[in-house]
Amino acid sequence: EQISKGKYDHYMQKEIHEQPESLTTTMRGRLIRGGSRKTKTVLLGGLKDHLKTIRRSRRIVFIGCGTSYNAALASRPILEELSGIPVSMEIASDLWDRQGPIYREDTAVFVSQSGETADTLLALDYARENGALCVGITNTVGSSIARKTHCGVHINAGAEIGVASTKAYTSQIVVMVMLALAIGSDTISSQKRREAIIDGLLDLPYKVKEVLKLDDEMKDLAQLLIDEQSLLVFGRGYNYATALEGALKVKEVALMHSEGILAGEMKHGPLALVDENLPIAVIATRDACFSKQQSVIQQLHARKGRLIVMCSKGDAASVSSSGSCRAIEVPQVEDCLQPVINIVPLQLLAYHLTVLRGHNVDQPRNLAKSVTTQ
Ligand code: AGP
């Protein structure tokens, strides 16, 4: 912990606020103009000798725990879209418990901030034994996962000290979006889409700076929620992962029950919980799922739900049209990058809730930064 907190009270707070810089470092030297047509492209040095094998895989399997798993989940849709390869998700301990199928034709991507998580390491040994190509995405050069995988990408987010992972999460997503761009880079039909994403990546640190201005608003919201027992977070599509990750942050540091829910599952159970008391955050920024989320909001309003809606700039009035809610407007970016923006207000909310409730921000009870035992 020789790294100073600078002007901040806690490492978690510092790490949330330094995301514009950590994201810039993650992308440095990796987005270039290349090829005969000088188009924008992605260069991931650690993968260049393996991209052909990855493109030939029958399946890509993401494996991780906690926040690292959530980052992979946020990146799954763009990887499926740009690679055309089926992508499956595995929580490391569950893969091991089931001794789930891993084949020689698979590319197994291990995502871990520390690179030392015992469950992920065990799954890595297992995937290697089964002959899969193993790729590591870690924040720790020389870590066990970095050493034991066949190839990989460092996220270069800088040391993360707070037990709650914040800047590593956003850098992991950016690396996995770059991975999707690199795998799909020889597909002419998606070139425009890839270029738009690269432009979006280059602009992302500025947009994160903008969303960090919500700090006071999130502190205000934390004040309102300080005595609550529970907070539900509804998301779907790219932002299902945001719902899971936002809820994980709230429970791990603010010690408040919180659950991330796939909005498409609302009618299959969670709707029974809705009343005028339970706070519910709904992520409804503009993307292909927006109209479905509008209808979720209407249904929650019809049941007098107490809503906090995260929406794109300019949409506050439209998301409040079916009933009153607290709207949090965030900048709109490319759909696959929106999870990087949308998690920031939830990180801030978890942080302020923790301080206001008087809990330990950087060392939540019972938790360790790196879980090196099973
Ligand atoms: C994140 O806030 C948590 N502390 C935890 O879920 C963490 O992401 C998980 O233990 C995995 O750690 P890793 O990324 O170092 O493998």
Residues 221-267: tens digit of each pLDDT:
999 999 999 999 999 999 999 999 999 999 999 999 999 999 999 99
Which of the 8 DSSP states describes residue 40? Answer: E
User: How many angstroms is it from 166 CA to the middle of ligand 1?
Assistant: 10
Contacts of 14 (CB under 8 A, 6+ apart): 5, 6, 8
pLDDT digits (tens, 9 = 90+) for 278-314: 999 999 999 999 999 999 999 999 999 999 999 999 9
Could you tell me if the CB of 370 is within 6 A of ligand 1?
yes
Does the CB atom of residue 371 touch ligand 1 within 6 A? Answer: yes
ipTM confidence score: 0.98
By CB neighbour count within 10 A (0-12 exposed, 13-18 middle, 19+ buried), where does 165 fall? buried
Mutate to test the pocket of ligand 1, among 117, 343, 347 (most ligand atoms within 8 A of CB): 117
- With a CB cutoff of 8 Å and minimum separation 6, the contacts of 327 are 308, 309, 310, 311, 315, 316, 319, 320
Q: What is the DSSP string of 265-278?
A: GGGGTGGGG-SSSS
What torsion do the CA atoms of 270, 275, 276, 281 make, to the nearest 10 degrees? 0
> Along the chain (374 residues), what's the average pLDDT of each consecutive run of 10 residues?
87 98 97 76 94 97 98 98 98 97 98 97 97 98 97 97 96 98 94 95 98 98 97 98 98 98 96 96 97 96 96 94 91 98 98 97 90 86
HSE-up of residue 72 (Cα within 13 Å, Cβ side): 26
CB 220 within 8 A of CB 326: no
Question: Ligand 1 test: best mutation among 10, 68, 372, most atoms within 8 Å of CB?
Answer: 68
Which pLDDT score is estimated for 36? 66
- Does ligand 1 have an atom closer than 6 angstroms to the CB of 165? yes
The residues near 334 (Cβ < 8 Å, ≥ 6 apart) are: 196, 197, 200
* Residue among 119, 160, 165, 258 to mutate when testing ligand 1 (max atoms within 8 A of CB): 165
CA-closest candidate to residue 245, choices 104, 111, 342:
342
Q: Please, is 374 exposed, middle or buried when counting C-beta atoms within 10 Å of its C-beta (0-12, 13-18, 19+)?
A: exposed
Distance in Å, CA 68 to ligand 1 centroid: 6
- CA of residue 18 to ligand 1 center, whole Å: 19
Q: Is the CB of 322 under 6 A from ligand 1?
A: no
